[in-house]
Structures are given as C-alpha cells and as structure tokens.
Structure 1
Amino acid sequence: MITVVGSINLDLIATVGRLPGPGETVPGGDFKSAPGGKGANQALAAARAGAPVRMVGAVGKDAFAGEALAYLRDGGVDLGGVAEMHAATGIALILVGGDGENMIAVVPGANGTVVPGDLDKAKFAKGDIVLLQHEIPLSTVDAAIGAARQAGAITLLNTAPFRAEAAGFVGKANYVVANETEFDLYAEALALPAGERPERMSEFARRTGAALIVTLGGEGVLATKDGGIIHVDALKITPVDTVGAGDTFCGYLAAGLSAGLGLEDALKRAAAAGSLACLKPGAQPSIPLASEVDTALRG
C-alpha cells in the first residue's frame, strides 16, 4: 500500500506565448481547470502505475472540491482519509509558456488544515510506502515521517516546494527526491561542502543515511545510495507542458519501490513516466498509464 499525505488542489491553467517578467503583463491563449496538488498528482501517478493508493488530505466544502477529487476517484484511490473543511479547496494558478515551461503560485486553502492528528487516518503498516511533499504544514510532514518509521513503513519525501525550515528534517526520510534547484538550495541550507553536485549529494547521503534522488529535467536523474552514483536518462521528447512531470516521477517511483524493484530499475520507470507526462497539457490529465510506460521503455 502507498499512502500519500499531501495537498489536493484545483489547477487554474492559462497558456501564454512566453512567461512574463516581474511587473509585466503578457497576452494569454487558452484557459482550463484541472485537478492538481502535488499530493493528489503523486497519488494518481502511483495508482496509474498499478499500486493500491490511499490519500490523506483535505478539501473545502465548495464547488471546486468535487472537480479536485474527480481523477483520484476515477483512478480508484482510497479517499477515506480526505477531510472536508470550511476553508476553501486549495488552488494553483499556473502559467504555461510556449516552450512548455511554467510558473506556479499556490494558495493552500484546506491543505493548510492538514495537522498531525489527521495521521490517525493513515494507518501506516510495516513495508508500506509513505509519500510526502511540502504543500501541507511542515509539522505534519515531520510527524508523518516519525509515525511511518515507528510503524516500519518506508518514507519517500519530495522536497518541493523548497522551504528552508524543512532542512532540519529532510534527511529523516528513507528516500529524498528534489529537483536540481531545490537540492542546491537545501545543500546551502545544510551547509554541505562546496563542490560538484554528485559530491554534495554523496555528502548528504553520508550524513543522513537517506537515498537521495535529484531530477535534472531533460537530462534525466542522478541518485546516490550506499556510496554510489546512479544516472538514468530521460526519454528524448519535445515537451508540451512540464507541469506534471515531477509529480508523475515521484508517484511512479513510489509504485516501483512498492512493487519490489531495485532503485535503478524504479528510477528508469519513473523517469520514462515523467518524460511522457510532458507530452500533454495539465498535471493529472498528462499522467501516463502503466501500459504507455511499458511501451516507451521497450522503445
């Protein structure tokens, strides 16, 4: 079982010819809404990878809640741990440029009400995977890592978005996933010695005992575990929208580890899934099915 403790949003997505600079207004193109939130995205990715998934989080008692949960419900994710709160459902405001890159502002709403007491709904068990991110209160993330360890579950922490105050607990997880920018920021916050990224990754792993995975966009993935460095390539694609790639990677990685794959094989599958997610617009609508990933890996 994979338990995701995290955010549930409705994404409001506008396309623009290019992303604006500070204080600049640019004309837009299409607009659409789609379910999102890093927690919900990763839960759906793990479910589409074939894993049983439980979601712990919160939505509002508003018109956005049903739409925010629609893909999870259709994907067979257990929503028994999702509370309905008086706060508004979380919202992400997303601009997608003509080159597929994006800018995102997140308004947490009900996600900010997910507290350590809600972990009673999680029912962590030995051998389970607990998947976490930083879009809910960090006290809850930290508590979830501790509760999972006590239950004998395995924690996978996606350190996005970067929050400096999380530096004190990121190394407590069994697996830590960051993109290259986030890792560089955490490396500074943790005062890791200056050097090339693989050297700093190895030092992080040595200090914490965690397996560290750094995603590099189109350049693939670097990971360090037990003193070695693993590099996995991304698929060669022309991206349409990168907004769901990282979350797809995390969900598929959790599913691969849950299925008993070794880290390198789980990374290859997750990297392929993340690449495929760039070929369609939106976060959850772009997450590929396991059969599509199988086809891509066969090449």
Structure 2
Amino acid sequence: MITVIGSVNMDLIATTPRLPEPGETVTGTDFATAPGGKGANQALAARRAGAKVRMAGAVGSDAFAAEALALLEAAGADLGAVRHLPGPTGTALILVGGDGENMIAVIPAANGQVTARDAEAAVARMDAGDTLLLQMEIPEDAVRAALVAARGKSVTSILNIAPLSDAVERLAPLAGIVIANETEFARLSGRPAETLAVVRTELAALHARTGQCMIVTLGGDGVLWARDGQVEHVAALRIKPVDTVGAGDTFCGYLAQGLDSGMEFAAAVRRASVAGALACLTPGAQPSIPLASEVDARLED
C-alpha cells in the first residue's frame, strides 16, 4: 500500500511557441485546465502503475476542488484523508513552450494548510512495509512529521525534493530514498550539474558520505541512482517531447509502485524512467500519465 501526502492543484495550462523572456509578452496558441499538484500527480501515477493508493492532503471549497480530484477518484484512489477546507483549492499556472519545456507558478491555497497532525494521522494508518511518498508542495512541518513518523513504523519513505526550497537540506536526510532532478541535486551536492559525468561523480561522493539511497532524473540523459554502494545509469527512452509537465511526478509514482510491489530496484528505476518519458508525449500533468500496460509494452520493445 502506498500513502501519498502532498498537494492537490488545478493546473491552468497555456501553450506558446516559445517561453517568454522576463518582461516579454508572447501570444499563446492553446489553453486547457487539468487536475494537478505534485502529490496528486504522483498518487495517480502510482495507481495507474498498479498500486493501492491512499491520498492525504487538502482542497478548498471552490469549483476547482471536485475537478482537481476527479481523475484520482475515477482511478479508485482512497481519498478519505483529503480534507475539504474553506477557501480556494491550490492552482498552478503553467506555460509550455514549443520544445516541451515549461515554466510554472504555484499558488498553495489549501495545500498550505496541511498540518503536521494531518501527516502524522496519515502515517498512523500505514502498516510496516508500506511505502510513503512525499514532495515539497506542502508545509515543511507536515513533511518533517511524516518522515519522522515513518521511521518509527518501518515504512519506506520516498521524498521527491521538488519544488526546491531552503527546506531541502533539513528534510532530505530524513528520507529513506531521495529523488531529485539535476538542479535539485546540485543543491544537495553543492556543485552545478554541468555534465552527466559531474553528476555521477557528485552522486557517488554524496552516497559514500551518507549511505542514503538517491536517484537523480536527468531528462534526455536518463537517470542516475546510488544504492548500497553502487552507482548506476539508466539511459532515457528516445522520444520527441510534447510537454514535460508531470514527467518527474510520473517517475516518482511508478518507482514507488515498483518498490512497494517488491520489484528489484534497478528494474523499478528502469520502468519508472520509461513511464516518465511516455508522460512527455501528451499535454497536461495527470492526463499524460501512462497506464501500466503502455509502459510495459515499451519495456518489451
């Protein structure tokens, strides 16, 4: 069983030929809304990957609340730990350029009211051997409380250190597994992620110092992981991205499902990498998350 404690958003997505420079106005070509939020995205990814999933978090009392939860509800996720609070649901304003890259501004709203008590209550319902999946779009106190509680219950904790904040140095050491992209990992290592070779060297050094399991997602350069003294690279699936929003969340959800189901670590990372790549082929965060059958078909190619 996977419990995800995290954000639930409504994504407002504008597509432009290219991303604007600071102070520049660019005419867009399309607009759409879709359920999002890093917590909800990862919960849906884990559910589509085949896991039983419980989502914990908060939405508001506005019209976005039901829509933000719609795909999770349709997928059969347990939403009993999602609180409905007065005020707005979290939103994300997303610009997607013609090359698939994106810029995102997040307004926490109800997500900012998730408390340490909420987190502790969610972990209290977990059993030894379950998997806890966290991100950093809810308050630091809630993430910390969940990680500390997980340690006392023999629960595997996975922390995706996105979006990056000053809390990363305080929270990352508490997790069983840390997932970062190259920019986020540079914050942990203290050295810019200039090349794949640099990231690999820094990952090996950090792993040797801490013994912590770490995974670095590198977009088109694939994935690097360090575990039990071993550092390995997984090549990326070759695709032409349409929209990279949600790719990292898809990776996290699929990885959590693989490990929770007892899959061998390297195989779980490889499957998650393929899932993350496939998520780049469709616009939107949650709508782009592939089904397990689609991922497994590409693994067999």
Structure-2 residue corresponding to 1:117:
117
Aligned-partner SS, 2:55: strand
Rounded to whole Å, the distance in 2 between the matches of 1:165 and 1:298 is 40
Rounded to whole Å, the distance in 2 between the matches of 1:204 and 1:85 is 41
Structure-2 residue corresponding to 1:131:
133
With normalisation by structure 1, the TM-score equals 0.96
Aligned-partner SS, 2:84: strand
The superposition leaves residues 249-286 of structure 1 with CA deviations (integer Å, 9 ceiling, x where unpaired) of 00000000001012110001000000000000000000
Aligned-partner SS, 2:152: helix
Q: CA 1:19 to 1:42, structure 2 compared with 1: closer, same or farther past 3 Å?
A: same
Structure-1 residue corresponding to 2:285:
283
Aligned-partner SS, 1:284: coil
Gaps of 5+ in 2: 192-196
Matched ranges for 1:98-177 at <5 A: 98-119=98-119, 120-122=121-123, 123-177=125-179
Higher mean alpha-carbon deviation, 69-78 vs 225-234, is at: 225-234
Structure-1 residue corresponding to 2:270:
268
Q: Is the 8 A contact 1:8 1:68 kept in 2?
A: yes
Aligned-partner SS, 2:129: coil
Q: Is the 8 A contact 1:210 1:225 kept in 2?
A: yes
Q: CA 1:204 to 1:171, structure 2 compared with 1: closer, same or farther past 3 Å?
A: farther
Structure-2 residue corresponding to 1:75:
75
AA matched with 1:153:
V
Superposition deviation, residue 164 in structure 1? 1.9
Asked if 1:8 corresponds to 2:8, the answer is: yes
Rounded to whole Å, the distance in 1 between the matches of 2:209 and 2:171 is 12
Rounded to whole Å, the distance in 2 between the matches of 1:261 and 1:238 is 29
Q: Is the 8 A contact 2:3 2:122 kept in 1?
A: no
The superposition leaves residues 138-165 of structure 1 with CA deviations (integer Å, 9 ceiling, x where unpaired) of 1111110011111110000000011122
Superposition deviation, residue 168 in structure 1? 1.6
Superposition deviation, residue 86 in structure 1? 1.2
Higher mean alpha-carbon deviation, 15-24 vs 201-210, is at: 201-210
Structure-1 residue corresponding to 2:194:
none
Count of aligned pairs: 294
Gaps of 5+ in 1: 190-194
Q: Is the 8 A contact 2:91 2:108 kept in 1?
A: yes
Rounded to whole Å, the distance in 1 between the matches of 2:115 and 2:52 is 24
Rounded to whole Å, the distance in 1 between the matches of 2:215 and 2:122 is 29
Q: Is the 8 A contact 1:179 1:215 kept in 2?
A: yes
